[in-house]
Amino acid sequence: MAVLMAVGLGLLAPGPAVAEPYCGLVWGSLAKSDPAMSQSKVVNVRTGRHYCFDRLVIDLNGPVAGYTVRYVPQVSQDGSGSPVPLRGRAFIQLTVNAPAYDDAGQPTYNPANKNELSEVGGYQTFRQLAWAGSFEGYSSLGLGVRARLPFRVFALAGPGSGSRLVVDVAHYW
C-alpha cells in the first residue's frame, strides 16, 4: 500500500518500459565479415522462409572461409562495378571469398536467370535476389529487402564435405 501511495504522489517513478527483441533476435545491421580466402567453390544458391526471418543459403563444395555482408546504397557487379538493379527499399551486397568456377575456368554455379536466383514472392523481408558475378576468386550477390533490418551470418558444415554460408534477415527489429 505504501508503495502505491508513493507512486501516486510521484515519490517513486515506475521503471522504463523495455520491449523484448522481436522473436528474441539480438542481431544488428552493421557489416559482418571474415577476410579468409576459400579453396571451395560456390555450387548453389537458395532461399527459405522462417517464422522470424528470411534465409539465404550459399552452398560450397568445401569449407566456408571468408565473406563480407553489408548494407550498401547500390549493389555493384564484380569486375565491372556496374549497378545491379534490385527491388526493395534496402540492399545487401554479399560477397563470399570463393569463386563460382573451377581451376579450368568452368562454372561451378551458373544461374539460369541472374536477376532472379530464387523466387522470393510472398517472402516477408526478401524482395529480390540477383547474381552480381564471380571475379578473381570472389562471388557476389545482391539482395533487395523490404527495409534495413537486422541480419546474422554464419557457416554450417555439410552436407558431406561441403558447407553452407547462411544469411538470415529478420522480419522486424
Task: Spell out the per-residue pLDDT of the chain, length 173, in tens.
Answer: 554 454 455 555 555 555 566 788 899 999 999 999 889 999 999 999 999 999 999 999 999 989 999 999 999 998 889 999 999 999 999 999 999 999 999 999 999 999 999 999 999 999 999 999 999 999 999 999 999 999 999 999 998 999 999 999 999 98
Instruction: Judge residue 55's burial from the number of C-beta atoms within 10 Å of its C-beta, 0-12 exposed, 13-18 middle, 19 or more buried.
Output: middle
DSSP, res 3: H
CB 93 within 8 A of CB 86: no
**133 vs 116, 141, 172, CA distance in Å?**
13, 7, 29
Domain limits, the chain: 29-170
Distances (CA, A) of 48 to 116, 126, 168: 14, 10, 9
In whole angstroms, give the CA distance from residue 127 to residue 144. Answer: 5
The CATH class given to the 29-170 domain equals: mainly beta
Say what the pLDDT of residue 3 is: 46
SS3 of residue 23 by DSSP: helix
Global confidence as pTM: 0.86
User: Which residue is associated with the grid cell 523484448?
Assistant: 20
The backbone region for 79, taken as left when phi is positive above 0, alpha when psi lies in -120 to 50, beta otherwise, is left
